[in-house]
Structure 1
């Protein structure tokens, strides 16, 4: 069944409405989408096509996509070539980027609350809905930036929202949804074989870690007058590790105060972050695969995947199976078939998230100009001693650090300044941090 592509002079009020059918294509039109990046349409229309004079920049197209829905695209360029006119269009969701956010700030909110804050601080009224299913809480700031840039772009030099929340942006016409993940894990298992020319396999095992030496924080019941070491555990391994294939690395999390908590956290690095698996991509030429009788079964399996779905892939030259997701595709909307897909597990290339060994969320601290005077007055009272404070030399006899606290007992203190030979920092959550405001001896200011 051939799926039609429709042309509109302007966006219809009813998205189910069909526009002018555009059928005189010189080549098969294509839709390309990649995770947290692009969602675009490309087509080459005949010079003598019936509707060639109607196809113009800034008009709209509607085309059938891989998830069974029709999506709208706005034409951004129309260029004449020897045999036709090439048309490039962007998904209608990018029209939200014509708007502007002067300042939106959420101190601690879930995905829905942050998306609501972005929408409520827009300059223009647009029909876009800002949704989210992200349940975790985060701090986020978007200042003097367009909304799509704030969510998946450069965010005016700050970390974008998908990076802060470790999330993904889904576009469904006028609905923009920040999701914990796009797609599903239905247990698809695919063995591409060892000599399949239509599959390009790339494996990077340079960053694989399969055995961990774990370092946590100082236990809560510590006597801070005596220098104490943090809890440690060595070693946590995945199954099948031998002296021939072992790769050991250290990971730290100061929030883990017991060995049991440290081991549980370390296991999540294997179970969720998959640090023991190589970074893999499979670029699949679906056209070649479909027309090769020997691999019809593989074609049917891959063709059932939707954008973001998980597949379990056996690697050609390694006796292991890895989890990969569909992170990119090129789709023929008129045929309702994939031209090509990219499966991979290196999502950092697409999410623009900033990962650290301790925490995948890198929170931003913002000082509001309208609070500056109050902040200066408040700081003056603290520094001059009007609001109290307790000083502790740790350890007492040969101190290696100075602690200035809101409580006389270090174990009870929440607001803490710590100063040692390596730097100066402030924590609002106790002696073990986190020290979100800091100046270190190498010249770095957090």
Structure 2
């Protein structure tokens, strides 16, 4: 795929935007499990769109074999070297580092509600949506304003810290998986499709014991370190022979409402050990391979690899044979194939590191969409998806013995081997897979009456039993958490009341409310007759400066002093025709006050009320 350039504020990426970067000579996308997600490309200074490549603009690129095209925001452009610039761009989800989440606290809340609360109650408007596979409720809080991305991971008490999991970043959609990848059965083997292998077995992060502690601060400011009575917690599955202790501070988990206790310290320490395998070395394998599914002789293999998938690596010469999870992928967007994949345990991820980028907090803008609007939107979206398609390929499978058709396929490519998005319909049911013919099929209607889908939009739902974690209104204001029993109902004004207030506000906004401000170039008080200044009249309609749109004859200047006779002469001379007036000692005898009125030139009446 050739990358496509878009403007910084674009939200629709189904077009060609500013243009296709046809002169691009290099483009790679690197994604790490719960970590970095970046695009890097090179472009010649002689390219047709060279001047259009600026910071903050967006680039759409293919990130791997299976995902939809993703959008990346440019943050760095190198100085041209040998007639080429190198452009660095972060995935659009990095914008969450600049979106401010407000304080929030709940003693027991499902992850779905917690995540939706964070995304819907931000000080910065955004287009991101979220979903999670987890359902178990836990205590969750945002104790101080911080970025949405920090709430997702990287700090104590974040989603990754409490629930774990793996994130999938799909443009403006954030998906929190219990397990993102699949056990694909793909084998990368020496002599078959393995082209390069690097083995790294790092035990620098392995320990035999954990010494947890927390600092207790008294009212007078003195600090005392609290440790466990047994001091050390042994790591039972350690592979080390020499004793090695990890000393870790858990103070950040405690506060004024949850003081430091031995039991609490032990619980946090055990939870940390459960989520962090400190006893073993961290093996990683970086491999390069040739995807066999692109080779004609292996077309039926249908093997594709994605981030977080589990694959098998075999190298008979080095004696390596292991199953491991894909933790990093480097993908050549132009050639549409992997440069390398890294297998093993990630050395750094959102669990322990996150970008500290913060943005200025803007005024919150909240908008509530009612259900009929959602329903119409869903119908319109479905209609557009179905009626707007001109591509696609239909394949009918027939039995070898009698030639009877038994399966209907709708593909996004001419052959099954090349297809990524597949609709498959047979006697077992109807299903959709975004991972090729062999699935998995995330959306399906099966012959035994089951429907599998992430989101189902309906008008009226009739059911005997509904098994759910949370029943929630569309705007998230009212919900029933069936696992905790928590019920929250919110009341809103009727549509008539809302319309009445809306009409009233519209009426006020349509009125031309003028405000005139007089400013002086040299102050307002003068001594010893040393008077020389210019008065300017500036007119605002609400908060908009409209002075330049008004006729000078609409401005009437008047003077009020202790001499009414000379005031009348001065006022007659300045009856209209100027948005400013020069004031000297001749205009002020002892003391004078100057006014300016804005009039309608037709009626000669004041517009200032």
Give CA deviations for 1:120-167 in whole Å, capped at 9, x if unaligned: 3311221110211112332222232101122123x3xx2432122111
Is the Cα contact below 8 Å between 2:56 and 2:74 reproduced in 1?
A: yes
Residue equivalent to 1:59: 57
Q: Distance in 2 between matches of 1:338 and 1:303?
A: 13
Residue equivalent to 1:121: 121
Task: Call closer, same or farther: CA 1:208–1:76 in 2, change over 3 Å.
Answer: closer
Residue equivalent to 1:170: 168
Is the Cα contact below 8 Å between 2:183 and 2:310 reproduced in 1?
A: yes
Is the Cα contact below 8 Å between 2:100 and 2:148 reproduced in 1?
A: yes
Is the Cα contact below 8 Å between 1:208 and 1:277 reproduced in 2?
A: yes
Give yes or no for the alignment of 1:49 onto 2:47: yes
Is the Cα contact below 8 Å between 2:28 and 2:40 reproduced in 1?
A: yes
Is the Cα contact below 8 Å between 2:70 and 2:91 reproduced in 1?
A: yes
Task: Call closer, same or farther: CA 1:174–1:318 in 2, change over 3 Å.
Answer: same
**Structure 2: gaps (5+ residues):** 208-235, 244-262, 264-273, 354-609
Residue equivalent to 2:112: 112
Residue equivalent to 1:326: 326
Residue equivalent to 2:476: none
Cα distance, 1:8 vs structure 2 = 1.2
Give yes or no for the alignment of 1:350 onto 2:349: yes
Q: Distance in 1 between matches of 2:316 and 2:280?
A: 14
Q: Residue 158 of structure 2: which of 157, 160, 168 is its match?
A: 160
Is the Cα contact below 8 Å between 2:186 and 2:303 reproduced in 1?
A: no
Residue equivalent to 1:141: 141
Q: Residue 280 of structure 1: which of 275, 278, 283 is its match?
A: 283
Is the Cα contact below 8 Å between 1:64 and 1:336 reproduced in 2?
A: yes
Task: Call closer, same or farther: CA 1:13–1:100 in 2, change over 3 Å.
Answer: closer
Give CA deviations for 1:353-393 in whole Å, capped at 9, x if unaligned: 69xxxxxxxxxxxxxxxxxxxxxxxxxxxxxxxxxxxxxxx
Q: Residue 34 of structure 1: which of 12, 29, 32 is its match?
A: 32
Residue equivalent to 2:310: 310
Is the Cα contact below 8 Å between 1:63 and 1:333 reproduced in 2?
A: yes
Give CA deviations for 1:281-304 in whole Å, capped at 9, x if unaligned: 110134xx679xxx9999x98972
Task: Call closer, same or farther: CA 1:95–1:69 in 2, change over 3 Å.
Answer: same
Max Rg structure: 2
Is the Cα contact below 8 Å between 1:277 and 1:322 reproduced in 2?
A: no
Residue equivalent to 1:69: 68
Cα distance, 1:246 vs structure 2 = 12
Residue equivalent to 1:188: 186
Choose between structure 1 and 2 for higher RCO, CA contacts under 8 A separated by at least 6 residues: 1
Is the Cα contact below 8 Å between 1:166 and 1:353 reproduced in 2?
A: no
Cα distance, 1:323 vs structure 2 = 3.2
Cα distance, 1:51 vs structure 2 = 0.8
SS in 2 for 1:164: helix
Residue equivalent to 2:571: none
SS in 2 for 1:65: coil
Cα distance, 1:47 vs structure 2 = 1.1
Q: Distance in 2 between matches of 1:322 and 1:343?
A: 10
Task: Call closer, same or farther: CA 1:208–1:5 in 2, change over 3 Å.
Answer: closer
Q: How does 1:230-269 map to 2 (within 5 A)?
A: none
Is the Cα contact below 8 Å between 2:92 and 2:172 reproduced in 1?
A: yes
Give CA deviations for 1:257-316 in whole Å, capped at 9, x if unaligned: xxxxxxxxxxxx9xx999998642110134xx679xxx9999x98972111111133576
Residue equivalent to 1:151: 152
SS in 2 for 1:198: strand
Task: Call closer, same or farther: CA 1:320–1:337 in 2, change over 3 Å.
Answer: closer
Residue equivalent to 1:362: none
Residue equivalent to 2:98: 98
